[in-house]
Amino acid sequence: MGRGRPERSGTVIRVAIAGGSGYAGGELLRLLLAHPDAEVAQVTSERFAGKFVHRTHPNLRGLTRLKYVPLGELSSCDLLFSCLPHGASARHIDLFLANAERVIDLGADFRLGDVGEYERFYGEPHPRPGLLGRFVYGIPELNRDALRSTSLVACAGCNATVSILALRPLFLEQVAKSAVIEVKVGSSEAGNRASEASHHPERSGAMRSYKPTGHRHLAEIRAVLNGRDAVQAGAAVAITAGGAAAGSEARTPAPLPHIHFSATAVEMVRGILATCHVFLREDLDEKDLWRIYRRAYADEPFVRIVKERTGIHRYPDPKLLAGSNYCDIGFERDPHARRVVVMAAIDNLMKGAAGQAVQAFNIMHGLPERRGLEFPGLHPA
Protein backbone atom coordinates (compact mmCIF):
# COMPACT_ATOMS: atom_id res chain seq x y z
CA MET A 1 0.00 0.00 0.00
CA GLY A 2 1.37 3.40 -0.95
CA ARG A 3 2.20 5.93 1.75
CA GLY A 4 -0.44 8.58 2.29
CA ARG A 5 -3.13 6.48 0.61
CA PRO A 6 -6.72 7.30 1.67
CA GLU A 7 -8.50 4.77 3.87
CA ARG A 8 -10.43 2.20 1.87
CA SER A 9 -14.16 2.72 1.85
CA GLY A 10 -15.39 -0.74 0.82
CA THR A 11 -14.48 -3.98 -0.91
CA VAL A 12 -11.03 -3.93 -2.46
CA ILE A 13 -11.13 -4.26 -6.24
CA ARG A 14 -8.02 -6.00 -7.58
CA VAL A 15 -6.88 -4.50 -10.88
CA ALA A 16 -4.10 -5.11 -13.37
CA ILE A 17 -2.68 -2.80 -16.04
CA ALA A 18 -1.50 -4.35 -19.30
CA GLY A 19 1.06 -2.14 -21.00
CA GLY A 20 1.72 0.17 -18.09
CA SER A 21 5.02 1.74 -19.14
CA GLY A 22 3.54 4.38 -21.46
CA TYR A 23 2.18 7.79 -20.56
CA ALA A 24 -1.46 6.70 -20.26
CA GLY A 25 -0.42 3.66 -18.25
CA GLY A 26 1.60 5.84 -15.92
CA GLU A 27 -1.31 8.21 -15.34
CA LEU A 28 -3.61 5.26 -14.73
CA LEU A 29 -1.17 3.80 -12.20
CA ARG A 30 -0.86 7.17 -10.45
CA LEU A 31 -4.63 7.42 -10.10
CA LEU A 32 -5.17 3.83 -9.00
CA LEU A 33 -2.43 3.87 -6.37
CA ALA A 34 -4.34 6.66 -4.63
CA HIS A 35 -7.80 5.22 -5.27
CA PRO A 36 -9.36 4.09 -1.97
CA ASP A 37 -11.17 1.11 -3.51
CA ALA A 38 -8.54 -0.27 -5.91
CA GLU A 39 -5.50 -2.44 -5.37
CA VAL A 40 -3.03 -2.66 -8.24
CA ALA A 41 -1.97 -6.29 -8.35
CA GLN A 42 0.14 -6.30 -11.54
CA VAL A 43 1.51 -3.97 -14.20
CA THR A 44 2.92 -5.44 -17.40
CA SER A 45 5.68 -4.36 -19.74
CA GLU A 46 7.73 -6.51 -22.06
CA ARG A 47 10.61 -4.02 -22.33
CA PHE A 48 10.85 -3.34 -18.61
CA ALA A 49 9.90 -6.70 -17.09
CA GLY A 50 11.58 -7.10 -13.71
CA LYS A 51 12.15 -3.35 -13.30
CA PHE A 52 10.40 -1.16 -10.75
CA VAL A 53 7.54 0.87 -12.23
CA HIS A 54 9.26 4.07 -11.13
CA ARG A 55 11.90 3.28 -13.77
CA THR A 56 9.49 4.69 -16.36
CA HIS A 57 7.29 6.77 -14.03
CA PRO A 58 9.72 8.59 -11.72
CA ASN A 59 6.92 10.63 -10.16
CA LEU A 60 5.80 7.41 -8.44
CA ARG A 61 9.12 6.81 -6.71
CA GLY A 62 8.52 5.86 -3.06
CA LEU A 63 4.77 5.32 -3.58
CA THR A 64 4.92 1.67 -4.63
CA ARG A 65 7.35 -1.26 -4.87
CA LEU A 66 5.55 -2.78 -7.84
CA LYS A 67 7.70 -4.24 -10.62
CA TYR A 68 6.71 -4.85 -14.23
CA VAL A 69 5.89 -8.39 -15.27
CA PRO A 70 5.60 -9.87 -18.77
CA LEU A 71 2.13 -10.08 -20.25
CA GLY A 72 2.33 -13.86 -20.14
CA GLU A 73 2.52 -13.78 -16.33
CA LEU A 74 -0.85 -12.10 -15.84
CA SER A 75 -2.88 -13.67 -13.06
CA SER A 76 -6.52 -13.37 -12.09
CA CYS A 77 -7.95 -10.00 -11.06
CA ASP A 78 -11.31 -8.30 -10.87
CA LEU A 79 -10.68 -5.82 -13.68
CA LEU A 80 -7.96 -5.37 -16.26
CA PHE A 81 -7.05 -2.07 -17.89
CA SER A 82 -5.36 -2.40 -21.26
CA CYS A 83 -3.01 0.41 -22.31
CA LEU A 84 -1.39 -1.58 -25.08
CA PRO A 85 -0.57 -0.14 -28.52
CA HIS A 86 -3.14 -0.30 -31.30
CA GLY A 87 -3.89 -3.86 -32.35
CA ALA A 88 -2.41 -5.52 -29.27
CA SER A 89 -5.60 -5.59 -27.18
CA ALA A 90 -7.42 -7.48 -29.93
CA ARG A 91 -4.58 -10.01 -30.12
CA HIS A 92 -4.58 -10.59 -26.36
CA ILE A 93 -8.28 -10.22 -25.55
CA ASP A 94 -8.71 -13.94 -24.84
CA LEU A 95 -5.91 -13.76 -22.28
CA PHE A 96 -7.55 -10.75 -20.67
CA LEU A 97 -10.97 -12.37 -20.48
CA ALA A 98 -9.44 -15.54 -19.02
CA ASN A 99 -7.92 -13.56 -16.16
CA ALA A 100 -10.38 -10.73 -15.49
CA GLU A 101 -14.12 -10.47 -15.02
CA ARG A 102 -14.09 -6.99 -16.57
CA VAL A 103 -11.89 -5.23 -19.13
CA ILE A 104 -11.44 -1.53 -19.87
CA ASP A 105 -9.46 -0.96 -23.07
CA LEU A 106 -7.85 2.48 -23.44
CA GLY A 107 -6.85 1.69 -27.02
CA ALA A 108 -8.71 1.93 -30.31
CA ASP A 109 -9.31 -1.76 -31.04
CA PHE A 110 -12.95 -1.97 -29.96
CA ARG A 111 -14.22 1.61 -30.26
CA LEU A 112 -16.02 1.21 -33.57
CA GLY A 113 -19.03 -1.02 -33.96
CA ASP A 114 -18.95 -1.02 -37.76
CA VAL A 115 -16.48 -3.43 -39.40
CA GLY A 116 -16.45 -1.42 -42.62
CA GLU A 117 -15.68 1.85 -40.84
CA TYR A 118 -12.85 0.17 -38.95
CA GLU A 119 -11.25 -1.09 -42.16
CA ARG A 120 -11.78 2.28 -43.86
CA PHE A 121 -10.03 4.29 -41.15
CA TYR A 122 -7.45 1.75 -39.94
CA GLY A 123 -6.54 0.24 -43.30
CA GLU A 124 -7.01 -3.41 -42.38
CA PRO A 125 -9.76 -5.86 -41.43
CA HIS A 126 -10.60 -6.05 -37.75
CA PRO A 127 -8.93 -9.12 -36.19
CA ARG A 128 -11.89 -9.88 -33.87
CA PRO A 129 -15.01 -8.48 -35.53
CA GLY A 130 -17.32 -10.66 -33.46
CA LEU A 131 -16.41 -8.72 -30.31
CA LEU A 132 -17.07 -5.21 -31.60
CA GLY A 133 -20.69 -4.96 -30.50
CA ARG A 134 -19.94 -6.21 -26.99
CA PHE A 135 -17.92 -3.17 -25.86
CA VAL A 136 -19.57 -0.08 -24.42
CA TYR A 137 -18.13 3.16 -25.78
CA GLY A 138 -16.54 4.69 -22.71
CA ILE A 139 -17.67 8.32 -22.55
CA PRO A 140 -19.69 8.41 -19.30
CA GLU A 141 -21.61 11.50 -20.37
CA LEU A 142 -23.08 9.44 -23.23
CA ASN A 143 -23.31 5.92 -21.86
CA ARG A 144 -23.52 6.14 -18.09
CA ASP A 145 -26.41 3.65 -17.80
CA ALA A 146 -24.75 1.13 -20.11
CA LEU A 147 -21.49 1.39 -18.16
CA ARG A 148 -23.26 0.35 -14.97
CA SER A 149 -24.13 -3.06 -16.36
CA THR A 150 -21.28 -3.89 -18.73
CA SER A 151 -18.11 -5.90 -18.28
CA LEU A 152 -16.37 -4.56 -21.41
CA VAL A 153 -15.50 -0.91 -22.09
CA ALA A 154 -13.70 0.71 -25.02
CA CYS A 155 -12.52 4.14 -23.91
CA ALA A 156 -12.97 6.89 -26.47
CA GLY A 157 -10.03 8.49 -28.25
CA CYS A 158 -8.78 11.73 -26.72
CA ASN A 159 -9.57 13.87 -29.79
CA ALA A 160 -12.94 12.18 -30.12
CA THR A 161 -13.74 12.81 -26.46
CA VAL A 162 -13.11 16.55 -26.56
CA SER A 163 -14.89 16.95 -29.92
CA ILE A 164 -17.94 14.90 -28.97
CA LEU A 165 -18.40 16.66 -25.63
CA ALA A 166 -18.00 20.05 -27.34
CA LEU A 167 -20.62 19.42 -30.02
CA ARG A 168 -23.01 16.82 -28.66
CA PRO A 169 -25.51 19.32 -27.18
CA LEU A 170 -25.97 21.06 -30.55
CA PHE A 171 -26.38 17.74 -32.33
CA LEU A 172 -28.87 16.45 -29.78
CA GLU A 173 -30.97 19.54 -30.40
CA GLN A 174 -30.62 19.06 -34.19
CA VAL A 175 -29.51 22.66 -34.72
CA ALA A 176 -26.15 21.88 -36.36
CA LYS A 177 -25.97 21.81 -40.16
CA SER A 178 -22.23 21.13 -40.40
CA ALA A 179 -19.12 21.33 -38.23
CA VAL A 180 -15.42 21.84 -38.84
CA ILE A 181 -13.23 20.74 -35.93
CA GLU A 182 -9.61 21.78 -35.49
CA VAL A 183 -7.70 20.32 -32.54
CA LYS A 184 -4.34 21.52 -31.27
CA VAL A 185 -2.61 18.75 -29.38
CA GLY A 186 0.38 18.29 -27.10
CA SER A 187 3.28 15.94 -27.73
CA SER A 188 2.21 13.31 -25.16
CA GLU A 189 -0.63 12.32 -27.49
CA ALA A 190 1.93 10.55 -29.68
CA GLY A 191 3.08 8.29 -26.83
CA ASN A 192 6.50 7.78 -25.28
CA ARG A 193 8.25 6.06 -28.20
CA ALA A 194 10.79 8.40 -29.76
CA SER A 195 10.43 9.27 -33.44
CA GLU A 196 11.76 11.75 -35.96
CA ALA A 197 8.70 13.93 -35.32
CA SER A 198 9.31 13.95 -31.55
CA HIS A 199 13.03 14.72 -31.80
CA HIS A 200 13.53 17.93 -29.82
CA PRO A 201 15.06 20.08 -32.59
CA GLU A 202 12.13 19.10 -34.84
CA ARG A 203 9.35 19.41 -32.27
CA SER A 204 10.48 22.45 -30.29
CA GLY A 205 8.75 25.61 -31.45
CA ALA A 206 6.76 23.68 -34.07
CA MET A 207 3.13 24.17 -35.01
CA ARG A 208 2.72 21.28 -37.39
CA SER A 209 -0.43 20.21 -39.19
CA TYR A 210 -0.03 16.44 -39.06
CA LYS A 211 -3.49 15.17 -39.99
CA PRO A 212 -5.54 17.73 -41.92
CA THR A 213 -7.88 14.99 -43.19
CA GLY A 214 -8.61 11.35 -42.52
CA HIS A 215 -7.85 11.25 -38.79
CA ARG A 216 -8.92 7.93 -37.25
CA HIS A 217 -10.84 9.62 -34.45
CA LEU A 218 -13.18 11.13 -37.04
CA ALA A 219 -14.86 7.73 -37.33
CA GLU A 220 -15.84 7.87 -33.64
CA ILE A 221 -16.94 11.49 -33.85
CA ARG A 222 -19.17 10.93 -36.87
CA ALA A 223 -20.68 7.74 -35.46
CA VAL A 224 -21.71 9.39 -32.21
CA LEU A 225 -22.72 12.83 -33.41
CA ASN A 226 -24.62 11.50 -36.40
CA GLY A 227 -26.48 9.15 -34.11
CA ARG A 228 -25.52 5.96 -35.90
CA ASP A 229 -25.58 2.71 -34.00
CA ALA A 230 -22.13 2.04 -35.52
CA VAL A 231 -20.55 2.87 -32.18
CA GLN A 232 -21.11 -0.24 -30.11
CA ALA A 233 -24.39 -1.93 -30.86
CA GLY A 234 -24.60 -2.91 -27.21
CA ALA A 235 -23.58 0.46 -25.84
CA ALA A 236 -26.97 2.17 -25.64
CA VAL A 237 -25.53 5.34 -27.16
CA ALA A 238 -27.85 8.06 -25.94
CA ILE A 239 -28.64 9.35 -29.43
CA THR A 240 -31.28 7.89 -31.71
CA ALA A 241 -30.83 7.34 -35.44
CA GLY A 242 -32.46 10.69 -36.09
CA GLY A 243 -30.04 12.51 -33.83
CA ALA A 244 -32.46 13.34 -30.99
CA ALA A 245 -31.76 12.54 -27.36
CA ALA A 246 -33.10 9.15 -26.35
CA GLY A 247 -36.26 9.53 -24.36
CA SER A 248 -36.85 13.08 -25.52
CA GLU A 249 -39.83 14.32 -27.49
CA ALA A 250 -39.88 12.91 -30.99
CA ARG A 251 -38.70 15.34 -33.64
CA THR A 252 -38.63 15.03 -37.38
CA PRO A 253 -35.16 13.67 -38.19
CA ALA A 254 -32.95 16.35 -39.71
CA PRO A 255 -30.49 15.51 -42.49
CA LEU A 256 -27.23 14.20 -41.07
CA PRO A 257 -24.74 17.05 -40.64
CA HIS A 258 -21.37 17.10 -42.38
CA ILE A 259 -18.49 16.78 -39.91
CA HIS A 260 -14.85 17.53 -40.75
CA PHE A 261 -11.74 17.19 -38.58
CA SER A 262 -8.11 18.37 -38.65
CA ALA A 263 -5.29 18.03 -36.13
CA THR A 264 -2.27 20.24 -35.45
CA ALA A 265 0.67 19.49 -33.16
CA VAL A 266 1.78 22.43 -31.00
CA GLU A 267 4.54 23.00 -28.46
CA MET A 268 2.71 21.67 -25.42
CA VAL A 269 3.21 18.40 -23.55
CA ARG A 270 -0.28 17.76 -22.22
CA GLY A 271 -3.62 18.92 -23.45
CA ILE A 272 -5.99 19.38 -26.37
CA LEU A 273 -7.82 22.51 -27.44
CA ALA A 274 -10.64 21.86 -29.90
CA THR A 275 -11.96 24.84 -31.88
CA CYS A 276 -15.18 23.81 -33.58
CA HIS A 277 -16.93 25.92 -36.21
CA VAL A 278 -20.58 24.92 -36.21
CA PHE A 279 -22.88 26.16 -38.97
CA LEU A 280 -26.48 26.30 -37.77
CA ARG A 281 -29.77 25.32 -39.35
CA GLU A 282 -31.53 28.20 -37.58
CA ASP A 283 -30.69 31.46 -35.86
CA LEU A 284 -29.80 31.10 -32.19
CA ASP A 285 -28.85 33.81 -29.73
CA GLU A 286 -26.57 33.55 -26.70
CA LYS A 287 -29.43 32.68 -24.36
CA ASP A 288 -30.47 29.80 -26.62
CA LEU A 289 -26.94 28.45 -26.55
CA TRP A 290 -26.70 28.75 -22.78
CA ARG A 291 -29.97 26.81 -22.43
CA ILE A 292 -28.76 24.06 -24.76
CA TYR A 293 -25.47 23.55 -22.92
CA ARG A 294 -27.01 23.78 -19.46
CA ARG A 295 -29.60 21.17 -20.37
CA ALA A 296 -26.84 18.84 -21.47
CA TYR A 297 -24.27 19.35 -18.73
CA ALA A 298 -25.83 20.95 -15.64
CA ASP A 299 -25.46 17.73 -13.64
CA GLU A 300 -22.22 16.42 -15.12
CA PRO A 301 -19.40 16.19 -12.54
CA PHE A 302 -16.56 16.65 -15.03
CA VAL A 303 -17.93 19.06 -17.62
CA ARG A 304 -17.73 22.81 -16.94
CA ILE A 305 -19.04 25.68 -19.04
CA VAL A 306 -16.31 28.32 -19.22
CA LYS A 307 -17.54 31.56 -20.73
CA GLU A 308 -16.63 34.81 -19.00
CA ARG A 309 -17.11 38.36 -20.25
CA THR A 310 -13.59 39.55 -19.39
CA GLY A 311 -10.17 38.28 -18.35
CA ILE A 312 -7.55 36.06 -19.93
CA HIS A 313 -9.29 32.87 -18.71
CA ARG A 314 -12.69 33.58 -20.23
CA TYR A 315 -12.49 30.55 -22.54
CA PRO A 316 -11.22 26.95 -22.04
CA ASP A 317 -7.46 26.53 -21.74
CA PRO A 318 -5.85 23.06 -21.58
CA LYS A 319 -2.95 24.38 -19.52
CA LEU A 320 -5.29 24.84 -16.57
CA LEU A 321 -6.50 21.24 -16.80
CA ALA A 322 -3.19 19.36 -16.56
CA GLY A 323 -3.68 16.37 -14.29
CA SER A 324 -7.44 16.87 -13.98
CA ASN A 325 -10.38 14.93 -15.41
CA TYR A 326 -12.38 18.00 -16.46
CA CYS A 327 -13.57 18.99 -19.89
CA ASP A 328 -14.06 22.75 -20.12
CA ILE A 329 -16.40 23.99 -22.84
CA GLY A 330 -17.04 27.54 -24.07
CA PHE A 331 -18.81 29.04 -27.06
CA GLU A 332 -19.37 32.29 -28.90
CA ARG A 333 -22.02 33.23 -31.44
CA ASP A 334 -20.78 34.89 -34.59
CA PRO A 335 -22.87 38.09 -34.90
CA HIS A 336 -22.25 38.25 -38.66
CA ALA A 337 -23.10 34.68 -39.68
CA ARG A 338 -25.16 31.69 -38.66
CA ARG A 339 -22.11 30.20 -36.97
CA VAL A 340 -21.13 29.25 -33.43
CA VAL A 341 -17.52 28.72 -32.40
CA VAL A 342 -17.35 26.06 -29.68
CA MET A 343 -14.10 25.65 -27.78
CA ALA A 344 -13.30 22.68 -25.54
CA ALA A 345 -10.19 21.66 -23.62
CA ILE A 346 -9.03 18.52 -21.83
CA ASP A 347 -5.86 16.88 -20.58
CA ASN A 348 -5.42 14.18 -23.22
CA LEU A 349 -3.88 11.79 -20.67
CA MET A 350 -6.72 12.28 -18.18
CA LYS A 351 -10.20 12.95 -19.56
CA GLY A 352 -8.81 11.70 -22.86
CA ALA A 353 -7.42 8.45 -21.42
CA ALA A 354 -6.64 7.40 -17.83
CA GLY A 355 -9.04 9.72 -16.01
CA GLN A 356 -11.96 8.71 -18.20
CA ALA A 357 -11.05 5.05 -17.66
CA VAL A 358 -11.15 5.51 -13.88
CA GLN A 359 -14.44 7.39 -14.20
CA ALA A 360 -15.85 4.37 -16.07
CA PHE A 361 -14.32 2.06 -13.45
CA ASN A 362 -16.16 3.96 -10.71
CA ILE A 363 -19.49 3.76 -12.53
CA MET A 364 -19.09 0.03 -13.22
CA HIS A 365 -18.60 -0.62 -9.51
CA GLY A 366 -21.31 1.67 -8.19
CA LEU A 367 -18.81 4.13 -6.74
CA PRO A 368 -19.09 7.93 -6.79
CA GLU A 369 -17.80 9.14 -10.16
CA ARG A 370 -15.40 11.60 -8.55
CA ARG A 371 -13.67 8.90 -6.50
CA GLY A 372 -9.93 9.21 -7.09
CA LEU A 373 -10.43 12.05 -9.60
CA GLU A 374 -10.76 15.10 -7.37
CA PHE A 375 -7.53 16.82 -8.45
CA PRO A 376 -8.49 20.24 -9.88
CA GLY A 377 -5.39 21.05 -11.95
CA LEU A 378 -2.74 23.66 -11.23
CA HIS A 379 -2.48 27.42 -11.64
CA PRO A 380 0.01 28.66 -12.54
CA ALA A 381 1.56 25.68 -14.25
Give the pLDDT score at 246: 38
Q: Give the dihedral sign, CA 243/248/253/255.
A: negative
The residues, ordered by sequence, that sit 6+ positions from 315 with a Cβ below 8 Å of its Cβ are 306, 307, 308, 330, 332, 343
User: pLDDT of the chain along its 381 residues, tens only?
Assistant: 344 445 555 689 999 999 999 999 999 999 999 999 999 999 999 999 999 999 999 999 999 999 999 999 999 999 999 999 999 999 999 999 999 999 999 999 999 999 999 999 999 999 999 998 899 999 999 999 999 999 999 999 999 999 999 999 999 999 999 999 999 998 888 777 778 878 888 888 888 898 899 899 999 999 999 885 334 433 333 333 333 333 344 456 667 789 999 999 999 999 999 999 999 999 999 999 999 999 999 999 999 999 999 999 999 999 999 999 999 999 999 999 999 999 999 999 999 999 999 999 999 999 999 999 999 999 998
Give the pLDDT score at 190: 77
Q: Which CATH superfamily is domain 13-156+352-364 in?
A: NAD(P)-binding Rossmann-like Domain (3.40.50.720)
Edge-to-edge strand order for the sheet containing 258-265? Answer: 208-211, 258-265, 176-185, 272-280, 339-346, 327-333, 303-305
| CB-based contact 255:227 (threshold 8 Å) | no
The residues, ordered by sequence, that sit 6+ positions from 185 with a Cβ below 8 Å of its Cβ are 158, 159, 263, 264, 265, 266, 268, 271, 272, 348
Give the pLDDT score at 7: 54
Q: Tell me if the bond preceding 380 is cis, omega within 30° of 0.
A: yes
| CB-based contact 281:177 (threshold 8 Å) | yes
Give the pLDDT score at 189: 82
CATH number, span 158-347: 3.30.360.10
Q: Which residues of 337-359 are buried (b: 16+ CB within 10 A; e: fewer)?
A: eebbebbbbbbbbbbbbbbbbbb
Give the pLDDT score at 228: 56
Residues recognised as catalytic: 158
The residues, ordered by sequence, that sit 6+ positions from 90 with a Cβ below 8 Å of its Cβ are 109, 110, 126, 127, 128, 131
Three-state secondary structure call for residue 378: coil
Residue 253's φ and ψ, nearest 5 degrees, are -60, 130
Domain ranges of the chain: 13-156+352-364, 158-347
Environment class of 158 (CB within 10 Å of its CB; exposed 0-12, middle 13-18, buried 19+)? buried
Cα–Cα distances in Å, from 240 out to 172, 235, 292, 319? 9, 12, 18, 35
Please report how many Cα atoms fall inside a 13 Å half-sphere around the Cα of residue 259, on the Cβ side.
24
| CB-based contact 157:216 (threshold 8 Å) | yes
Give the pLDDT score at 192: 75
